[in-house]
Amino acid sequence: MHDIRLIRDNPNGFDAALARRGLAPLSSKIIEIDTLRRAKITAAETALADRNAASKQIGAAKSQGLKDEFERLRTLVANKKNEIGILEVQAKEEDERLQALLGTIPNLPHDEVPEGTNEDDNVEIRIWGTPVELGFTPKEHYELTATKGGMDFETAAKLSGSRFVIMSGAVARLHRALAQFMIDTHTTENGLMEVNTPVLVRDEAMHGTGQLPKFAEDSYQTTNGWWLIPTSEVTLTNLVSDQILDEESLPRRYTAHSLCFRSEAGSAGRDTSGMLRQHQFEKVEMVSVTKPEDSLAELDRMTDCAQKILEKLELPYRTVVLCTGDMGFGARKTHDIEVWLPGQSAYREISSCSVCGDFQARRMNTRFKRVGEKKPEFVHTLNGSGLAVGRCLIAVLENGQQEDGSVSLPKILHPWLGGKTHITAEGKMA
């Protein structure tokens, strides 16, 4: 959510920031609604003052026997009461119009974010590892001999429709081990607190992190009004909603392994084969809550936490800064980490780490109080994948594939797999 005072004070700057996102100017429309809202509030306050003044005069008029004046004042009080009611309703309507409009406007990009219109304009800032030369034509994850019995898309389609998968045997075990490895690394090495949160949330939680109202079609809603979370960013970030935090408690760093649900409404026809883009998937999420002056450094720290997972797994990747036209709705600056997939001969996104500034904090009303200060300030929030478990599974399988159909597994995972080192061509863990 945007600070209406900043828009009033610098409308041209607000519109210039929107222009970097490829959006038309909106400050004049926002200020028009805000001006009308404030005029109604002022009129209601004036009418209330008039009513209160008249109320005080009624007693004096009655005691002095001024019948006509008494009746005039009594009528005035009644009329002012009705006028106040009408003005308050109108002010509320204008406020709702203002909040509805502000709720659909994306966050403003940080000055550091490169200009651009799409992913072609993103800027690479790091590359790690060298794509392995397999010596044979690599296959995609769902084509591997080792996974043929462990990924069942046909039965999943019978149960749930397209873009679902049933994993079993070695594939299911590897998927579980990856999630446990990520969580253990984040909690023991990266200083994040593990949290287990619900996957069903109310409107307020989805609104707080920016999924509502603009992106309702991208998520699933139950018949009784709950939403299935598209990411545990929603629940982790809302852990601090409607709170005033102590400065000493910041930063707060959380992680969770959860199921995630997305309708993929805007991705028809994209990545329909295999596990790359599913309606239900698992992700290890990271969320940080910081003081404003610390948030950019925290973005670098969070990005490093995600990168280190890939390095431990010996998976080549590159990191890019998203341009203004490719950033998500709530982000001020985003680092995307893309892992190398031999089957596609391409880097594909496996993590997106974003700093949101006070954008989510304003929606959630989350503030902190500095030591020695009375007035609270809005916190800054960040979120990032650490990592998407299914996509990490794909990367491990494709990068570890062998010419005989087996898959060699990263050494770091062996303890989480009971000492197993590979998946045989027959799909067995060995």
DSSP-derived secondary structure for 4-72: HHHHHH-HHHHHHHHHHTT----HHHHHHHHHHHHHHHHHHHHHHHHHHHHHHHHHHHHHTT-HHHHHH
Distance CA 242, CA 360 (A): 11
CA-CA-CA-CA torsion sign (422, 426, 429, 430)? negative
Question: In the prediction, which pLDDT does 50 show?
Answer: 92
Q: Which of 226, 411, 185, 187 is nearest to 314 (CA)?
A: 411
What mean pLDDT is predicted for residues 328-348?
A: 97
What mean pLDDT is predicted for residues 406-430?
A: 97
| Domains in the chain: ranges and CATH | 4-102 (1.10.287.40), 119-423 (3.30.930.10)
**Is the model's pLDDT at 34 over the cut of 70?**
yes
**Is the model's pLDDT at 245 over the cut of 90?**
yes
pLDDT digits (tens, 9 = 90+) for 44-74: 999 999 999 888 888 787 778 888 888 888 8
> How does residue 267 score in pLDDT terms, banded at 50, 70 and 90?
low
> How does residue 18 score in pLDDT terms, banded at 50, 70 and 90?
very high
What mean pLDDT is predicted for residues 138-155?
A: 96
DSSP 241: T
**Amino acid, single-letter form, for residue 32:** E
**Is the model's pLDDT at 364 over the cut of 90?**
yes
Give the residue numbers marked as catalytic. Answer: 262, 277, 349, 352, 391
**Is the model's pLDDT at 6 over the cut of 80?**
yes
Q: Which of 346, 387, 381 is nearest to 366 (CA)?
A: 381
> How does residue 90 score in pLDDT terms, banded at 50, 70 and 90?
very high
Question: In the prediction, which pLDDT does 77 show?
Answer: 85
CA-CA-CA-CA torsion sign (199, 295, 377, 211)? negative
**Is the model's pLDDT at 241 over the cut of 90?**
yes
Distance CA 80, CA 296 (A): 52
Question: In the prediction, which pLDDT does 361 show?
Answer: 98
Question: In the prediction, which pLDDT does 238 show?
Answer: 98
Question: In the prediction, which pLDDT does 29 show?
Answer: 97
Question: In the prediction, which pLDDT does 269 show?
Answer: 64
Q: Which of 135, 174, 180 is nearest to 397 (CA)?
A: 174
Report the chain's mean pLDDT, rounded to a whole number. Answer: 95
Tally of helices (H runs) and strands (E runs) in the chain: 11, 18
Question: In the prediction, which pLDDT does 85 show?
Answer: 95
pTM of the shown model: 0.93
Structure-token pair, residue 370: 């500095």
Question: In the prediction, which pLDDT does 266 show?
Answer: 60
**Is the model's pLDDT at 176 over the cut of 70?**
yes
**Is the model's pLDDT at 268 over the cut of 70?**
no
pLDDT digits (tens, 9 = 90+) for 277-295: 999 999 999 999 999 999 9
